[in-house]
């Protein structure tokens, strides 16, 4: 079960965190993985981890906010790997602030990465999938697309858009054998979290980390590997009857 043998998968934001965990797991399950990241060195590190373990991967730099950059990356995937079966739109950034405290430039930047990035990568990937008879898309949304979260105005806006794009893509392409779902995590312990705490709460990192962990009723953050396992299921043949859905992985947040 949950095999991706002979599948070609592209994972954006694959250089670290959740994207790295997804790329590593997909490769272990038999996929050839295109690790796509704006940080080419980070993408290369993930790809090297895969090949060192006996898997197949290649690193590609792409800025998901730039059409030409995205187009070049997917042209390379097509030229080198011949098709595309799976796309995970994982690349994204966070933002803290209310509508009053969010500068316009921050609003625009979060939108470009989290919304326009999904649009551009999906637009570039779909012709490859359709030419091969279908495929699977998984978008990384958030519980912020399902409930209100304090001080996350711009971020929540973008993740709400990811959720509705997911449903629109699913409706438009289900007759063409393309499935599209999204994952809605609560807080996940990634290197981004550690960096955020170090910059914003020097000397109080553990205290604030514990506070962030306690937000989830299970008493901890999720792990990138747990999110990756859900992504694997949604991209596998075992999930062939699922499309247009949002899957929370939230440590109990939505039931309290």
Report which secondary-structure segment, H or E, holds 183: strand 178-185
For the chain, the domains span 8-185+223-246, 189-221
The full DSSP string for 79-146 is: HHHS---EEEE-------B-TTT--HHHHHHHHIIIIIHHHHHHHHHHHHHHHTT-EEEEEE--GGGT
Q: List, as one string, the DSSP characters of 12-38.
A: ETTTSHHHHHHHHHHHHTT-EEEEEES
Domain 8-185+223-246, CATH: 3.40.50.720
Active site residues: 155
Tokens of 251: 């440590």
Tens-digit pLDDT profile for the chain (256 aa)?
899 999 999 999 999 999 999 999 999 999 999 999 999 999 999 999 999 999 999 999 999 999 999 999 999 999 999 999 999 999 999 999 999 999 999 999 999 999 999 999 999 999 999 999 999 999 999 999 999 999 999 999 999 999 999 999 999 999 999 999 999 999 999 998 999 899 989 999 999 999 999 999 999 999 999 999 999 999 999 999 999 999 999 999 999 8
Q: Does residue 221 contact residue 187 with C-beta atoms inside 8 Å?
A: yes
Measured CA to CA, the distance from residue 71 to residue 82 in angstroms comes to: 15
């Amino acid at each position: 079960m949950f095999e991706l043998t002979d599948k070609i998968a592209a994972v954006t934001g694959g250089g670290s965190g959740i994207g790295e965990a997804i790329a590593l797991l997909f490769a272990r399950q038999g996929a050839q993985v295109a690790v796509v990241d704006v940080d080419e060195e980070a993408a290369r590190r993930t790809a090297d981890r895969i090949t060192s373990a006996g898997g197949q991967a290649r690193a590609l730099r792409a800025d998901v906010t730039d059409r030409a950059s995205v187009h070049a990356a997917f042209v390379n995937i097509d030229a080198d790997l011949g098709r595309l079966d799976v796309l995970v739109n994982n690349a994204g950034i966070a933002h803290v602030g209310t509508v009053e405290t969010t500068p316009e430039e921050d609003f625009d930047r979060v939108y470009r990465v989290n919304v326009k990035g999904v649009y551009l990568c999906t637009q570039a990937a779909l012709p490859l999938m359709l030419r091969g008879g279908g495929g699977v898309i998984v978008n990384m949304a958030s519980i912020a697309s399902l409930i209100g979260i304090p001080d996350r105005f711009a971020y929540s806006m973008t993740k709400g858009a990811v959720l509705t794009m997911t449903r629109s893509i699913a409706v438009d392409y289900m007759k063409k054998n393309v499935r599209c779902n999204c994952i809605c995590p609560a807080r996940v312990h990634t290197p981004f979290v550690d960096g955020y705490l170090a910059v914003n709460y020097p000397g109080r990192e553990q205290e604030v980390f514990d506070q962030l962990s306690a937000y989830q009723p299970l008493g901890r953050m999720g792990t990138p590997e747990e999110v990756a396992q859900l992504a694997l299921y949604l991209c596998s043949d075992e999930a062939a009857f699922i499309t247009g859905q949002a899957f929370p992985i939230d440590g109990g947040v939505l039931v309290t």
